[in-house]
Protein backbone atom coordinates (compact mmCIF):
# COMPACT_ATOMS: atom_id res chain seq x y z
CA UNK A 1 0.00 0.00 0.00
CA UNK A 2 1.50 3.35 -1.02
CA UNK A 3 1.01 5.12 2.29
CA UNK A 4 3.64 7.83 1.85
CA UNK A 5 2.38 8.65 -1.62
CA UNK A 6 -1.15 8.92 -0.26
CA UNK A 7 0.08 11.25 2.50
CA UNK A 8 1.77 13.50 -0.05
CA UNK A 9 -1.34 13.61 -2.21
CA UNK A 10 -3.60 14.45 0.76
CA UNK A 11 -1.26 17.25 1.84
CA UNK A 12 -1.24 18.71 -1.66
CA UNK A 13 -5.04 18.52 -1.74
CA UNK A 14 -5.29 20.66 1.38
CA UNK A 15 -2.83 23.22 0.05
CA UNK A 16 -4.49 23.34 -3.37
CA UNK A 17 -7.94 23.69 -1.78
CA UNK A 18 -6.75 26.69 0.26
CA UNK A 19 -4.81 28.45 -2.51
CA UNK A 20 -6.16 31.95 -3.34
CA UNK A 21 -9.34 31.17 -1.40
CA UNK A 22 -11.64 32.76 1.13
CA UNK A 23 -11.88 30.16 3.87
CA UNK A 24 -14.01 29.45 6.89
CA UNK A 25 -12.66 27.02 9.48
CA UNK A 26 -15.30 24.85 11.10
CA UNK A 27 -14.16 24.22 14.67
CA UNK A 28 -13.49 27.08 17.05
CA UNK A 29 -11.39 25.06 19.48
CA UNK A 30 -7.84 23.70 19.70
CA UNK A 31 -8.17 21.82 16.41
CA UNK A 32 -9.32 24.98 14.66
CA UNK A 33 -6.34 26.86 16.09
CA UNK A 34 -3.93 24.22 14.75
CA UNK A 35 -5.47 24.42 11.30
CA UNK A 36 -5.43 28.23 11.36
CA UNK A 37 -1.71 28.27 12.21
CA UNK A 38 -0.96 25.82 9.42
CA UNK A 39 -3.01 27.65 6.77
CA UNK A 40 -1.62 31.08 7.63
CA UNK A 41 1.95 29.74 7.52
CA UNK A 42 1.78 27.53 4.44
CA UNK A 43 -0.92 29.03 2.21
CA UNK A 44 -2.10 32.39 0.96
CA UNK A 45 -5.69 31.70 1.97
CA UNK A 46 -7.77 34.39 3.64
CA UNK A 47 -9.46 32.95 6.75
CA UNK A 48 -12.64 34.97 7.24
CA UNK A 49 -13.96 33.54 10.51
CA UNK A 50 -14.56 30.33 12.44
CA UNK A 51 -17.86 28.48 12.59
CA UNK A 52 -19.07 26.09 15.29
CA UNK A 53 -22.26 24.57 16.70
CA UNK A 54 -21.17 25.42 20.25
CA UNK A 55 -22.90 28.71 21.22
CA UNK A 56 -20.40 29.27 24.06
CA UNK A 57 -17.50 29.85 21.65
CA UNK A 58 -17.00 33.52 20.76
CA UNK A 59 -13.48 33.99 19.38
CA UNK A 60 -10.62 31.88 18.07
CA UNK A 61 -7.21 33.22 16.97
CA UNK A 62 -8.63 36.75 17.17
CA UNK A 63 -11.44 35.96 14.71
CA UNK A 64 -15.15 35.63 15.53
CA UNK A 65 -16.73 32.21 15.98
CA UNK A 66 -20.15 32.26 14.32
CA UNK A 67 -23.04 29.85 13.95
CA UNK A 68 -24.41 28.05 10.92
CA UNK A 69 -27.03 30.71 10.10
CA UNK A 70 -24.38 33.45 9.83
CA UNK A 71 -22.27 31.23 7.58
CA UNK A 72 -25.33 30.65 5.40
CA UNK A 73 -25.92 34.41 5.11
CA UNK A 74 -22.31 35.02 4.08
CA UNK A 75 -22.40 32.20 1.55
CA UNK A 76 -25.46 33.75 -0.09
CA UNK A 77 -23.48 36.98 -0.43
CA UNK A 78 -20.32 35.25 -1.71
CA UNK A 79 -20.78 31.74 -3.05
CA UNK A 80 -17.02 31.29 -3.52
CA UNK A 81 -16.49 30.76 0.22
CA UNK A 82 -14.94 27.40 1.12
CA UNK A 83 -15.04 25.55 4.44
CA UNK A 84 -12.28 23.43 5.95
CA UNK A 85 -13.50 21.15 8.75
CA UNK A 86 -11.25 20.75 11.80
CA UNK A 87 -13.41 18.35 13.79
CA UNK A 88 -13.73 14.61 14.30
CA UNK A 89 -17.47 15.05 13.77
CA UNK A 90 -16.68 15.54 10.09
CA UNK A 91 -19.46 13.31 8.83
CA UNK A 92 -22.32 15.18 10.53
CA UNK A 93 -20.81 18.60 9.83
CA UNK A 94 -20.32 17.84 6.16
CA UNK A 95 -23.99 16.89 5.80
CA UNK A 96 -24.95 20.05 7.68
CA UNK A 97 -22.89 22.18 5.28
CA UNK A 98 -24.21 20.47 2.17
CA UNK A 99 -27.83 19.94 3.19
CA UNK A 100 -28.60 23.00 5.32
CA UNK A 101 -26.11 25.72 4.41
CA UNK A 102 -26.12 24.70 0.75
CA UNK A 103 -22.39 24.55 -0.01
CA UNK A 104 -21.33 22.44 -2.99
CA UNK A 105 -19.32 19.35 -2.05
CA UNK A 106 -16.26 20.68 -3.90
CA UNK A 107 -16.11 23.62 -1.46
CA UNK A 108 -15.92 21.47 1.68
CA UNK A 109 -12.75 19.70 2.84
CA UNK A 110 -11.89 17.76 5.99
CA UNK A 111 -8.40 18.42 7.40
CA UNK A 112 -7.73 14.78 8.25
CA UNK A 113 -5.46 14.28 11.24
CA UNK A 114 -5.93 17.73 12.75
CA UNK A 115 -7.14 16.22 16.03
CA UNK A 116 -3.74 14.65 16.75
CA UNK A 117 -1.39 15.76 13.97
CA UNK A 118 1.12 18.61 14.09
CA UNK A 119 0.91 20.87 11.07
CA UNK A 120 4.03 22.28 9.48
CA UNK A 121 6.32 20.39 11.86
CA UNK A 122 10.12 20.61 11.59
CA UNK A 123 9.92 23.52 9.19
CA UNK A 124 8.36 21.69 6.26
CA UNK A 125 4.92 22.05 4.83
CA UNK A 126 3.96 18.38 4.93
CA UNK A 127 1.16 17.62 7.35
CA UNK A 128 2.12 15.14 10.05
CA UNK A 129 -1.10 13.15 9.82
CA UNK A 130 -2.27 11.14 12.79
CA UNK A 131 -0.96 7.69 13.48
CA UNK A 132 -3.46 5.68 11.40
CA UNK A 133 -1.34 5.82 8.29
CA UNK A 134 1.88 5.11 10.11
CA UNK A 135 0.25 2.23 11.98
CA UNK A 136 -0.81 0.68 8.67
CA UNK A 137 2.65 1.10 7.20
CA UNK A 138 4.31 -0.33 10.31
CA UNK A 139 2.12 -3.45 10.21
CA UNK A 140 2.13 -3.93 6.45
CA UNK A 141 3.09 -7.63 6.67
CA UNK A 142 0.30 -8.47 9.14
CA UNK A 143 -2.18 -6.62 6.94
CA UNK A 144 -1.12 -8.62 3.88
CA UNK A 145 -1.42 -11.83 5.93
CA UNK A 146 -4.94 -10.80 6.91
CA UNK A 147 -5.95 -10.12 3.31
CA UNK A 148 -4.63 -13.57 2.39
CA UNK A 149 -6.78 -15.39 4.96
CA UNK A 150 -10.06 -13.65 4.10
CA UNK A 151 -12.50 -16.01 2.41
CA UNK A 152 -14.02 -13.91 -0.37
CA UNK A 153 -13.24 -10.96 -2.61
CA UNK A 154 -15.87 -8.76 -1.00
CA UNK A 155 -14.11 -9.12 2.37
CA UNK A 156 -10.83 -8.02 0.82
CA UNK A 157 -12.45 -5.13 -1.04
CA UNK A 158 -14.34 -3.91 2.04
CA UNK A 159 -11.19 -4.01 4.17
CA UNK A 160 -9.18 -2.09 1.56
CA UNK A 161 -11.92 0.53 1.20
CA UNK A 162 -12.15 0.91 4.96
CA UNK A 163 -8.39 1.37 5.28
CA UNK A 164 -8.44 3.96 2.49
CA UNK A 165 -11.15 5.80 4.40
CA UNK A 166 -9.11 5.70 7.61
CA UNK A 167 -6.08 7.13 5.79
CA UNK A 168 -7.96 9.98 4.11
CA UNK A 169 -11.33 10.19 5.89
CA UNK A 170 -12.81 10.59 2.43
CA UNK A 171 -16.31 9.01 2.54
CA UNK A 172 -16.28 8.41 -1.22
CA UNK A 173 -14.23 5.27 -0.54
CA UNK A 174 -17.29 3.78 1.17
CA UNK A 175 -19.92 5.15 -1.17
CA UNK A 176 -20.09 1.92 -3.18
CA UNK A 177 -21.59 -0.02 -0.28
CA UNK A 178 -23.79 -2.92 -1.38
CA UNK A 179 -26.57 -3.93 0.98
CA UNK A 180 -26.96 -7.55 1.96
CA UNK A 181 -29.61 -9.73 3.54
CA UNK A 182 -29.00 -10.81 7.15
CA UNK A 183 -30.38 -13.74 9.10
CA UNK A 184 -31.88 -13.62 12.59
CA UNK A 185 -28.46 -13.59 14.27
CA UNK A 186 -27.14 -10.76 12.11
CA UNK A 187 -25.05 -12.81 9.67
CA UNK A 188 -25.03 -11.91 5.98
CA UNK A 189 -26.88 -14.84 4.44
CA UNK A 190 -24.15 -15.37 1.84
CA UNK A 191 -21.80 -16.16 4.73
CA UNK A 192 -24.15 -18.16 6.96
CA UNK A 193 -27.91 -18.59 7.00
CA UNK A 194 -27.83 -21.18 9.76
CA UNK A 195 -30.00 -20.58 12.83
CA UNK A 196 -30.59 -23.69 14.93
CA UNK A 197 -33.69 -24.52 16.96
CA UNK A 198 -31.71 -24.12 20.18
CA UNK A 199 -28.89 -21.59 20.00
CA UNK A 200 -26.48 -21.02 22.89
CA UNK A 201 -25.63 -17.34 22.54
CA UNK A 202 -22.95 -15.28 24.28
CA UNK A 203 -23.66 -11.54 24.00
CA UNK A 204 -20.54 -9.62 25.02
CA UNK A 205 -21.37 -5.96 25.45
CA UNK A 206 -25.09 -6.59 25.85
CA UNK A 207 -25.81 -2.88 26.48
CA UNK A 208 -29.43 -2.51 27.65
CA UNK A 209 -30.49 -5.65 25.83
CA UNK A 210 -30.54 -4.07 22.37
CA UNK A 211 -29.07 -7.15 20.67
CA UNK A 212 -31.14 -9.49 22.84
CA UNK A 213 -34.31 -7.71 21.76
CA UNK A 214 -33.37 -8.14 18.10
CA UNK A 215 -32.72 -11.85 18.57
CA UNK A 216 -35.99 -12.43 20.43
CA UNK A 217 -38.04 -10.40 17.94
CA UNK A 218 -36.45 -12.41 15.11
CA UNK A 219 -37.53 -15.66 16.77
CA UNK A 220 -34.13 -16.92 17.93
CA UNK A 221 -34.65 -19.59 20.60
CA UNK A 222 -32.26 -21.14 23.09
CA UNK A 223 -30.07 -19.96 25.97
CA UNK A 224 -28.57 -16.47 26.17
CA UNK A 225 -25.59 -15.41 28.28
CA UNK A 226 -25.44 -11.61 28.36
CA UNK A 227 -22.39 -9.78 29.76
CA UNK A 228 -22.60 -6.05 30.49
CA UNK A 229 -20.37 -4.28 33.07
CA UNK A 230 -21.84 -0.77 33.01
CA UNK A 231 -24.37 -0.26 35.80
CA UNK A 232 -27.04 1.74 33.96
CA UNK A 233 -26.83 -0.47 30.88
CA UNK A 234 -27.12 -3.56 33.06
CA UNK A 235 -30.28 -2.17 34.68
CA UNK A 236 -31.71 -1.70 31.19
CA UNK A 237 -30.71 -5.25 30.31
CA UNK A 238 -32.60 -6.59 33.34
CA UNK A 239 -35.67 -4.58 32.30
CA UNK A 240 -35.48 -6.09 28.82
CA UNK A 241 -35.29 -9.59 30.29
CA UNK A 242 -38.32 -8.86 32.48
CA UNK A 243 -40.33 -7.19 29.71
CA UNK A 244 -39.83 -10.17 27.40
CA UNK A 245 -40.51 -12.72 30.13
CA UNK A 246 -37.09 -14.18 29.41
CA UNK A 247 -35.90 -14.92 32.96
CA UNK A 248 -35.92 -18.67 32.30
CA UNK A 249 -33.49 -18.61 29.38
CA UNK A 250 -31.42 -15.42 29.77
CA UNK A 251 -28.46 -15.37 32.17
CA UNK A 252 -27.54 -11.68 32.64
CA UNK A 253 -24.18 -10.98 34.26
CA UNK A 254 -22.80 -7.62 35.32
CA UNK A 255 -19.27 -8.43 34.16
CA UNK A 256 -16.82 -7.44 31.47
CA UNK A 257 -14.90 -9.91 29.34
CA UNK A 258 -11.14 -10.18 29.01
CA UNK A 259 -8.13 -12.45 28.71
CA UNK A 260 -7.84 -13.01 32.47
CA UNK A 261 -10.20 -12.74 35.42
CA UNK A 262 -9.46 -9.54 37.34
CA UNK A 263 -10.85 -6.31 38.74
CA UNK A 264 -10.65 -3.34 36.37
CA UNK A 265 -12.26 0.05 35.87
CA UNK A 266 -14.91 1.39 33.52
CA UNK A 267 -14.69 4.91 32.13
CA UNK A 268 -17.49 6.58 30.19
CA UNK A 269 -21.03 5.30 30.08
CA UNK A 270 -23.82 3.96 27.90
CA UNK A 271 -22.56 3.11 24.38
CA UNK A 272 -19.15 4.71 24.87
CA UNK A 273 -17.99 3.01 28.07
CA UNK A 274 -14.57 1.41 27.91
CA UNK A 275 -12.51 -0.72 30.31
CA UNK A 276 -9.20 0.61 31.61
CA UNK A 277 -6.84 -0.94 34.19
CA UNK A 278 -5.45 2.43 35.33
CA UNK A 279 -7.85 3.02 38.22
CA UNK A 280 -10.12 5.60 36.59
CA UNK A 281 -13.90 5.20 36.66
CA UNK A 282 -16.11 2.60 38.32
CA UNK A 283 -14.68 -0.71 39.50
CA UNK A 284 -15.91 -3.70 37.47
CA UNK A 285 -15.36 -7.44 37.50
CA UNK A 286 -13.70 -8.96 34.44
CA UNK A 287 -14.14 -12.64 33.68
CA UNK A 288 -13.06 -14.95 30.88
CA UNK A 289 -15.56 -16.90 28.85
CA UNK A 290 -13.58 -20.09 29.42
CA UNK A 291 -13.96 -19.61 33.20
CA UNK A 292 -17.59 -18.45 33.11
CA UNK A 293 -19.06 -21.87 33.85
CA UNK A 294 -21.05 -22.21 30.62
CA UNK A 295 -21.62 -25.95 30.27
CA UNK A 296 -23.57 -26.07 27.00
CA UNK A 297 -21.93 -26.18 23.60
CA UNK A 298 -21.69 -22.51 22.58
CA UNK A 299 -23.06 -21.91 19.08
CA UNK A 300 -22.70 -18.13 18.66
CA UNK A 301 -20.66 -15.27 20.17
CA UNK A 302 -21.27 -11.57 19.53
CA UNK A 303 -18.68 -9.10 20.84
CA UNK A 304 -18.96 -5.31 20.85
CA UNK A 305 -16.96 -4.28 23.91
CA UNK A 306 -15.20 -1.05 22.96
CA UNK A 307 -11.77 -2.39 22.09
CA UNK A 308 -11.59 -5.41 24.39
CA UNK A 309 -12.65 -7.87 21.68
CA UNK A 310 -9.14 -9.30 21.29
CA UNK A 311 -8.60 -10.03 25.01
CA UNK A 312 -12.12 -11.48 25.24
CA UNK A 313 -11.29 -13.90 22.40
CA UNK A 314 -8.05 -14.87 24.15
CA UNK A 315 -10.13 -15.64 27.24
CA UNK A 316 -12.46 -17.80 25.11
CA UNK A 317 -9.72 -19.86 23.43
CA UNK A 318 -10.97 -23.20 24.77
CA UNK A 319 -14.53 -22.48 23.64
CA UNK A 320 -13.29 -21.47 20.18
CA UNK A 321 -11.22 -24.65 19.91
CA UNK A 322 -13.84 -27.03 21.32
CA UNK A 323 -17.16 -25.59 20.12
CA UNK A 324 -16.12 -23.38 17.16
CA UNK A 325 -19.08 -21.02 17.63
CA UNK A 326 -19.96 -18.57 14.87
CA UNK A 327 -18.57 -15.11 15.63
CA UNK A 328 -19.67 -11.54 14.99
CA UNK A 329 -17.04 -9.03 16.13
CA UNK A 330 -17.39 -5.24 15.96
CA UNK A 331 -13.84 -4.61 14.85
CA UNK A 332 -13.56 -0.86 14.36
CA UNK A 333 -12.57 0.35 17.83
CA UNK A 334 -8.81 0.24 17.20
CA UNK A 335 -7.18 0.24 13.78
CA UNK A 336 -4.76 -2.55 14.69
CA UNK A 337 -7.69 -4.87 15.43
CA UNK A 338 -8.34 -5.07 11.69
CA UNK A 339 -5.37 -7.42 11.41
CA UNK A 340 -4.81 -8.51 15.02
CA UNK A 341 -8.26 -10.02 15.61
CA UNK A 342 -8.57 -12.17 12.46
CA UNK A 343 -4.99 -13.43 12.87
CA UNK A 344 -5.74 -14.24 16.54
CA UNK A 345 -8.86 -16.21 15.61
CA UNK A 346 -6.93 -18.21 13.02
CA UNK A 347 -4.17 -18.86 15.56
CA UNK A 348 -6.65 -20.17 18.13
CA UNK A 349 -8.60 -22.30 15.64
CA UNK A 350 -7.26 -22.53 12.06
CA UNK A 351 -10.55 -24.07 10.89
CA UNK A 352 -12.36 -20.73 11.07
CA UNK A 353 -13.35 -19.00 7.84
CA UNK A 354 -13.15 -15.23 8.23
CA UNK A 355 -15.04 -12.47 6.44
CA UNK A 356 -15.33 -8.68 6.62
CA UNK A 357 -18.35 -6.54 5.77
CA UNK A 358 -18.65 -2.77 5.87
CA UNK A 359 -22.00 -2.21 7.53
CA UNK A 360 -23.33 0.61 5.42
CA UNK A 361 -23.70 4.32 4.86
CA UNK A 362 -26.93 5.99 3.81
CA UNK A 363 -26.97 9.26 5.72
CA UNK A 364 -25.21 11.59 8.14
CA UNK A 365 -25.83 9.55 11.28
CA UNK A 366 -24.67 6.19 9.97
CA UNK A 367 -21.30 4.96 11.22
CA UNK A 368 -18.83 5.12 8.37
CA UNK A 369 -16.27 3.39 10.55
CA UNK A 370 -18.49 0.38 11.37
CA UNK A 371 -16.87 -2.72 9.89
CA UNK A 372 -17.71 -6.15 11.27
CA UNK A 373 -15.81 -9.41 11.28
CA UNK A 374 -17.74 -12.64 10.75
CA UNK A 375 -16.23 -16.07 11.40
CA UNK A 376 -17.81 -19.47 10.76
pLDDT in tens, the chain (376 residues): 454 555 455 556 677 788 888 999 999 888 888 888 878 877 788 999 999 999 899 999 999 999 999 999 999 999 999 999 988 777 789 889 999 999 998 899 887 655 444 343 333 333 444 456 667 777 889 999 999 999 999 999 999 888 877 766 666 677 666 778 999 999 999 999 999 999 999 999 999 999 999 999 999 999 999 999 999 999 999 999 999 999 999 999 999 999 999 988 876 555 445 565 665 667 889 999 999 999 999 999 999 998 899 999 999 999 999 999 999 999 888 889 999 999 999 999 999 999 999 886 544 444 555 789 999 9
**171 and 109 within one domain:** no
| Cβ contact 33:22 at 8 Å | no
Q: Are residues 209 and 311 in the same domain?
A: yes
Question: From CA 288, how far away is CA 261, in angstroms rounded?
Answer: 6
Asked if residue 95 and residue 174 are part of one domain, the reply reads: no
Question: Is the domain of 115 the same as that of 153?
Answer: no
- In this structure, the answer to whether residues 255 and 293 fall within a common structural domain is yes
Residues 52 and 191 in one domain: no
294: left (phi over 0), alpha (psi -120 to 50) or beta: beta
- Does a structural domain hold residue 136? no
- Phi, psi (degrees; rounded to nearest 5) at 107: -105, 15
Q: φ, ψ for residue 57 (rounded to 5)?
A: -80, 130
What distance in Å separates the CA atoms of residue 200 and residue 222, rounded to the nearest whole number? 6
User: pTM (2 decimals)?
Assistant: 0.69
Domain assignment of residue 41, given as a range: 3-129
Question: What is the Cα–Cα distance from 200 to 249, expressed in whole angstroms?
Answer: 10
Residues 238 and 363 in one domain: yes
135 lies in some domain: no
Q: Are strands 22-26 and 82-85 parallel, antiparallel or unpaired?
A: parallel
Q: Which helix (H) or strand (E) holds 232?
A: helix 231-243
Last residue of a domain, one of 129, 156, 180: 129
Distance between first and last Cα of the chain: 28
- What distance in Å separates the CA atoms of residue 149 and residue 155, rounded to the nearest whole number? 10
Please say whether the beta carbons of 290 and 317 come within 8 A: yes
pLDDT at 298: 99
Residue 272: exposure state from Cβ atoms within 10 A (0-12, 13-18, ≥19) = exposed
Same domain membership, residue 326 and residue 223: yes
Q: Indicate if 173 and 306 belong to the same structural domain.
A: yes
Within 8 A by CB and 6+ apart from 32, the residues are: 25, 26, 50, 52, 60, 61, 86
State the DSSP code for 113. Answer: T
Amino acid sequence: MKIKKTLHIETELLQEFARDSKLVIWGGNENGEKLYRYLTQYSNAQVLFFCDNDPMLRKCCGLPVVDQSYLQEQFFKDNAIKVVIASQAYQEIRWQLLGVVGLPAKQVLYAKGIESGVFGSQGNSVVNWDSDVFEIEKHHDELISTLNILEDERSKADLKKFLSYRITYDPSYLAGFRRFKMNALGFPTDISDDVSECEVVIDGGAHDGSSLRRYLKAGVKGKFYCFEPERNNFSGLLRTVENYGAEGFVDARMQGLGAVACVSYLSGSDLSGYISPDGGGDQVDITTLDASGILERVTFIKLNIEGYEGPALEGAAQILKKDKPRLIISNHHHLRHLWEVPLLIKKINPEYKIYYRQMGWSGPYDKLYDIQLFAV
